[in-house]
Structure 1
Amino acid sequence: MSARRITRTRLFAATTVALAALSLTACEGDELTGSPAPESSTSASADGNSARPAGGAKGDAGDTGDTGATGSTGSTGSAGSTGNGKAPGSGTGADKSSGGNASAGSGGTDGSDSEVPGACSAADVRITAANAPRPINHLLLTATNTGSKTCALPPYPAARFGEAQAVPPVAESSKPQSLTTLAPGESGYAGVRLSSGDGSGENGYETTALTIPFEDGSIARVKLPSGGVYVDTALTVTYWQTSASNALEY
């Protein structure tokens, strides 16, 4: 009986030792798998060496704020993100710079605009008159710039034939889009209907004198064709044109 008890005791002891060995092996296996302990994970996050989880977005915003606002701390990172990474006052400076460029551009445009030509004077132009081959009873006036600067003719010649007190009417259909301007040496043209071709005009008379006033008060005296001209109530002038053909179409 004592021999059996000894044998059982030894078997129990051996079994206990084997179980202990298995437990130790299992623990060592866990250590070999390299599973991080909670403390080591916390330490890595504290050191900032491992990538931050998605929950660290607030901290990233703080970092952005540090970059955007000079001398600001992470707690004021939202203010830095509003500034979009620019130093305080940089936005204002950009606006001022842009405004300055705009002003300079508009000034350049104004400065680059060509000067508007002044009105012609009787001293600037020489006006001649010639009978037109057609239509009949028409006179062609030619105004040539004899000055040294470009000038603008009046809208139409306010022609006064002889002792006439009234200015003849102007053919509105001959109005150009803008005033006729003359560079030195250039000419403008105006047509004059002297009288009706069918004799329907009234108060007709002959004259050898023609004067054309200008806007500055000066007066050009125009020499008429030899023998003078005959005018009546059909007298009409055109606006100054840039071509003789246009002036004689009306």
Structure 2
Amino acid sequence: MNSLRHRSTLLAAASTAVLALSLTACQDDADAKPATGTTASAAADAARGQATGSTPTTGAAGSKGSDGAAGASESTGSAGATGSSDSAGASGSGTAGEQASAAAPACTAKDVRITAATQGGPPYTHLVLTAKNTSGHTCRLPGFPHVQFLESHKQDVPAVGRSRPATPVVLHAGEPAYAAVKLSDGGTDEDNEPVSAFSVTLEGDSTVIAVTAPGSGGIAVDPAKALTGYWTPELRNGADDF
């Protein structure tokens, strides 16, 4: 009887010990699992923190700032290049036009028709020569008309330098140019001679152009006082130059 009781006591004690060990193991497992979970969470948080921390370094904001500056620089440069191109084109176009006019051939006797008329106001001692381009093409009319009024005076009438135009006279088809010519001083005691026709030659062309003097009775010319102006694109009063 005592032996059976003693065995029961031992079995109970053993069971208690086993239960205690099981509980301890379960507690240890439970304690270990939260620790593992915490560690994993911490690792994940750390990974997320690293990813989050790297965003300002290589993120979209930094990239946008760089791209934006580059875009503005390119836009400004492009606009500047366009402006330069436009200025160059305008300048080039104007220069080409001037060069084309300067390269036009000199007018010859067959290119122009020259007529003479009395000047419509004081001084009444001048007449106006008109050279109209009848050739159908552009030509230059350089210098001044070489005028000879009398057979007895073979010298050309002297030209007045201050009447020279600032730029060469270029005549397009149908356009005129003008030259004022002084005939005399208008005095009664001058050695005037009547002239009904006279000759004109152009610079660079020796062809003689016969010009009819204006008026039914012709004109009175004092060869010693006669002067001529340069060809100009506008009609000028002889008194402005001589």
Q: TM-score range by the shorter chain?
A: 0.5 to 0.7
How much does 1:123 deviate? 1.0
How much does 1:246 deviate? 5.4
Structure 1 residues 108-187: aligned runs within 5 Å: 115-116=100-101, 117-134=104-121, 135-162=123-150, 163-172=153-162, 174-187=163-176
**5+ long unaligned stretches in structure 2:** 1-8, 59-88
Residue correspondences, number: 178
Counterpart secondary structure, 2:33: helix
For residues 52 and 197 of structure 1, do their structure 2 counterparts lie closer, same or farther at Cα, with a shift above 3 Å needed? same
Contact 1:171 1:237 in 2 (8 A): no
Q: TM-score, normalised by structure 2?
A: 0.55
Q: Which one of the candidate residues 22, 34, 47 is aligned to 1:29?
A: 34
Quick one: distance in 2 between partners of 1:218 and 1:26? 128
Q: TM-score, normalised by structure 1?
A: 0.54
Contact 1:140 1:192 in 2 (8 A): yes
1:154-211 alpha-carbon deviations (Å, 9 max, x no partner) = 2321223322324412241x3333223323332221111222245798xx55253532
Query: Bigger relative contact order, structure 1 or 2, given CA contacts below 8 A and separation 6+?
Result: 2
**5+ long unaligned stretches in structure 1:** 42-49, 58-104
* RMSD between superposed Cα atoms in Å: 4.2
Return the index of the structure with the highest Cα Rg.
2
The one-letter code sitting in structure 1 at the alignment partner of 2:184 is S
Contact 2:130 2:178 in 1 (8 A): yes
Quick one: distance in 2 between partners of 1:216 and 1:30? 116
1:111-154 alpha-carbon deviations (Å, 9 max, x no partner) = x8584332111111111112223222101111122222122212
Q: Which one of the candidate residues 211, 214, 234 is aligned to 1:222?
A: 211
1:56-87 alpha-carbon deviations (Å, 9 max, x no partner) = 99xxxxxxxxxxxxxxxxxxxxxxxxxxxxxx
Counterpart secondary structure, 1:219: strand
Contact 1:191 1:248 in 2 (8 A): no
For residues 23 and 248 of structure 1, do their structure 2 counterparts lie closer, same or farther at Cα, with a shift above 3 Å needed? farther
Counterpart secondary structure, 1:165: coil
For residues 140 and 37 of structure 1, do their structure 2 counterparts lie closer, same or farther at Cα, with a shift above 3 Å needed? closer
Contact 1:171 1:236 in 2 (8 A): no
For residues 248 and 27 of structure 1, do their structure 2 counterparts lie closer, same or farther at Cα, with a shift above 3 Å needed? farther
> Which residue of 2 is the match for residue 82 of structure 1?
none
How much does 1:239 deviate? 2.2
| Percent of aligned positions that are identical | 31
Matched, 1:231 2:222: yes
The one-letter code sitting in structure 2 at the alignment partner of 1:151 is C
For residues 197 and 171 of structure 1, do their structure 2 counterparts lie closer, same or farther at Cα, with a shift above 3 Å needed? farther
Quick one: distance in 1 between partners of 2:238 and 2:186? 18
